[in-house]
Amino acid sequence: MAAAGLRAMVGVKRVIDYAVKVRVKPDNSGVVTDGVKHSMNPFCEIAVEEAVRLKEKKLVSEIIAVSCGPQQCQETIRTALAMGADRGVHVEIPAKDYESLTPFQVSKILAALAKKESVNLLLLGKQAIDDDCNQTGQMTAAFLDWPQGTFASEVNLDGDWLKVEREIDGGLETVRLKLPAVVTADLRLNEPRYATLPNIMKAKKKKMEMVKPSDLGVDLTPRVKTLSVEDPPQRKAGVKVETVEDLVAKLKEIGRI
Amino acid sequence: MAALRGFLRAQRLGRRAVSSLHRFQSTLVIAEHANEALTPITLNTITAAKRLGGEVSCLVAGTNCEKVAQELSKVQGVSKVLFAQHDAYKGLLAEELTPLILETQKQFSFTHICAGATAFGKNLLPRVAAKLDVAPVSDIIEIKSPDTFVRTIYAGNALCTVKCDEKIKVLSVRGTSFEAAPVSEGSAAIEKISAPAPVGQSEWMEQKLTKSDRPELTSAKVVVSGGRGLKSGDNFKLLYDLADQLHAAVGASRAAVDAGFVPNDMQVGQTGKIVAPELYIAVGISGAIQHLAGMKDSKTIVAINKDPEAPIFQVADYGIVADLFKVVPELTAALKK
């Protein structure tokens, strides 16, 4: 398997840029997304980078970048193509369905695509920074009945197996997964490259296929409904103290030390 | 004719029994443990499970976990401890635990399955949910009713209330949002369950844990955290000394981890650990959105930073604008008195 190279698929999500302070809509139906800067989810960038590095090491033969969502997701796929992915698949989700789309439906789509494209390595970010779910990789692995290497900080090929070092609560652990497998990237896996202008130009010529969830036999009926989105409780403004003695006195006063 | 009538009656009764079963909640908590010791977040998860109403059962699976099962049987509110021991559960791989949970679910028909939202819970539960063909709900901070939950989105910058219509609710629970259930007075029965055949598509190899005598970060009452301002890993000693005086755990911002000052598992934030101690002391941390996501529910926040414009001061109850290299040793000395 390794000799011919793995066929890798990378899932990428378009999210509100990580540096933007989000605003909750006045009708509490969600957060304001119109006119707000969007970019590729940071964990997805790391997943793309890892796939490209595996290809540079000749362990991966082809990289397919996939995104599910409205028209604008194509920019996100183009970014992945500019980083080194070979071709893109855009799973078009109408705006109405996209609002209620959750990892459940995305995982079904990814699982169907992974089978259709006969890939043997699926790379995803460990979570999207908008819904903070941390579910898609695990669920896709389950739908495919593949092993999963979540929160990966190192990935090495070992014959027909994949050695994955994972970030866990007390430190790190290493697992071995039989290919085909799903890997989700943690922050420490790598440092994603910037796409250069020539590569951005080249990416425009790379192939992008349009697919509908119904083509893949995936039903978009919402399973979890959002009832409301609200601002979290605001903290009261604090005070500045001048000296360490003042600080200690204040903390003693309120019984914290 | 009489036989037919009897048959129809039995069928009706059967249906009634099923629907009344559905009215009762019953929750399975997947216990997290390591080296024969229960992970504290399991106790917070049991509290959340009790809030769902109905019976609470705990599943303990592992290679050598009889002690954990015993401990759980004494936890208040737990009515049954299901216990499965097999070598395949080494490293608690999701691929091996999922079939066991599915088997358990088939036997007991729980309405809810939950675990703490730790690396263990986050790795396992979505796989279980997918196999049950239901959408899971992650990292809940509040239970409004057995099907309505509150969770945070956008790095804690919005609270989202969701209604889950699934037949089985699969939930991960934020430990800091629920009290720990007391380990006393419980008298749950321990029931041994058989392990399905090993799957064998994954293998646990080794673990490199960060050793520390300090309290565990996510459950510590006091946390002292350092950021880029510490300038080097060696300078973190200042924070360890301060932490020792306060019996505190030591955390870090992503900048400090990325710069190699401290290991990753100390990171507090959206992508690291979520803490809510009584006292959080942020030293040399600017207070980026991603860091605040992990600590802004702390009861009291203290910021030590020389930049008066640092966003951390917007959430700090007490702030001191000064050089940390001067303030931290002074603070440590003052606490020694």
Read off the pLDDT of residues B82-133 as tens digits, 9 standing for 90 and up.
Answer: 999 999 999 999 999 999 999 999 999 999 999 999 999 999 999 999 999 9
- Interface contact B102, partner A, CB < 8 A: no
- What pTM did the predictor assign? 0.93
Contact A142 B123 (CB under 8 A): no
Q: What integer pLDDT is reported at residue A2 of this predicted model?
A: 45
Backbone angles phi, psi at B293, to 5 degrees: -55, -25
Q: What integer pLDDT is reported at residue B36 of this predicted model?
A: 84
Substitution target from B33, B35, B93, B123 for chain A, most A beta carbons within 10 A = B123
Residue from the list A129, A140, A225 with its beta carbon closest to the beta carbon of B162: A225
Smallest CA–CA distance from B166 into chain A, residue: A223
Interface pTM, i.e. ipTM: 0.97
A24 neighbourhood in chain B, CB within 8 Å: 158
Smallest CA–CA distance from A241 into chain B, residue: B320
B279 neighbourhood in chain A, CB within 8 Å: 251, 256-257
Q: Any known ligand binding at B226? A: no
Q: Quote the minimal CA–CA distance from B8 to chain A in Å.
A: 35
Contact B270 A237 (CB under 8 A): no
Chain segment A98-147, per-residue pLDDT in tens: 999 999 999 999 999 999 999 999 999 999 999 999 999 999 999 999 99
